[in-house]
Chain A
Amino acid sequence: MAMAMVRSGLLRTALRGGSKTSPKRGFASSAHHDDAYETAKWEKITYLGIASCTALAVYVLSKGHAHHEEPPAYPYLHIRNKEFPWGPDGLFEVKHH
């Protein structure tokens, strides 16, 4: 697979610093224009992403989260072989004593 990647020139292009050395590029000025166009496009995509994430965050956080009752004390839960250096409780745990 690595050889196929080298032959396809994909890896070689990436190693040489992106598409600017690609044989398919047009004039120097048109390559510059492409980057300006791509900059504007990805800026819009980022804003779209931020807007949808904000909407999703409001929805998810407004729902609240479920609270569960304590499960039976199965031997594979709350495993303790020795005390933690800082004391008996785990870092993100409900206290058990």
Chain B
Amino acid sequence: MIESQRHSYHLVDPSPWPISGSLGALATTVGGVMYMHSFQGGATLLSLGLIFILYTMFVWWRDVLRESTLEGHHTKVVQLGLRYGFILFIVSEVMFFFAFFWAFFHSSLAPTVEIGGIWPPKGIWVLDPWEIPFLNTPILLSSGAAVTWAHHAILAGKEKRAVYALVATVLLALVFTGFQGMEYYQAPSTISDSIYGSTFFLATGFHGFHVIIGTLFLIICGIRQYLGHLTKEHHVGFEAAAWYWHFVDVVRLFPFVSIYWWGGI
């Protein structure tokens, strides 16, 4: 098969993972609606769907890693395609967050009479932006510096340093998530407290969720770096994780400046 191939494109083999992922998504959606409306069996179907999705993600990406390492399908031109794909994905993520900021500014720039005509709404206590919100911003930025350290270490062929740098990146990410959890726990309002709670927890919650995804992505990169999967010339997975991490890092600045600071004073 490989001998007869006269081009550098990767023609993928048939795979069961798209249909298994789709079924998992269907079970998650239906199970989620059932659970939230207290139907019997909702929680079971939701858990089953989530387990199915997580399993699919694991085996699908395991296959991609095998195609890249053992089978050597990720030629220069395939790597180019992967980078294009990932950049488009990040562009879609920018639009996703754009919508939440639209909702926030729509509600906060001209507060309606129903919430007292002021922002934050009458009766809403907000977090002091100069406490944990301010602390968490440089923590995430330092994590961004650490991932840049890892990138240069990979390019310089310093394999061990790259692992240490990724450990530092992930630890800072976990500290960020820990503080974010503490902040939510101590927050004087919840998502059910007016449009303020809705916009605040939607934007910061989805950002926090993206931090967790990025952390998992970086943990995988750290393990792959330790196993010697990433080389000076070929480390697309790491590049994608680093781009994603910088994206999450930059997105953090917007909630901090607009939602916590401008919207909280």
Contact = CB atoms under 8 A, between A and B. Distances in A.
Interface of A: 11, 14-18, 20, 32, 35-36, 38-39, 41-43, 45-46, 49-50, 52-53, 56-57, 60, 63, 65-66, 68, 71-72, 74, 76-80, 82-83, 85, 90-93
B41 to A, nearest CB: 12
Interface in B129-156: 131-132, 134-135, 138-139, 141-142, 145-146, 148-149, 152-153, 155-156
A65 B157 CA distance: 46
Contact of A42 (B131, B152, B190, B192): B152
Given A49-B141, A74-B122, A79 B153 contact: no
Grouping DSSP codes into helix (H, G, I), strand (E, B) and loop, the B interface class, with mixed when no group exceeds half, is helix
A21 to B, nearest CB: 10
Most A CB contacts (10 A, CB to CB) among B87, B156, B185, B186 go to B156
Closest 6 pairs between A and B when the two form their complex, measured CB to CB: A49-B142, A71-B123, A35-B156, A42-B149, A38-B152, A39-B152
Contact of A63 (B131, B152, B157, B165): B131
Nearest to B162: A39
Nearest to A11: B87
Interface of B: 35-38, 42-43, 79-80, 83-84, 87, 114-115, 121-125, 128, 131-132, 134-135, 138-139, 141-142, 145-146, 148-149, 152-153, 155-158, 161, 165, 168, 172, 175, 184-188, 190-195, 233, 236, 239
Nearest to A75: B114
A69 B167 CA distance: 42
B152 A35 contact: yes
B150 to A, nearest CB: 8
A16 B84 CA distance: 10
A57 B233 CA distance: 39
19 contacts: A14-B83, A17-B83, A17-B239, A32-B157, A35-B152, A35-B157, A38-B155, A39-B158, A42-B165, A45-B149, A50-B168, A52-B142, A53-B142, A53-B175, A56-B135, A72-B123, A74-B123, A90-B191, A93-B192
A3 B193 CA distance: 44
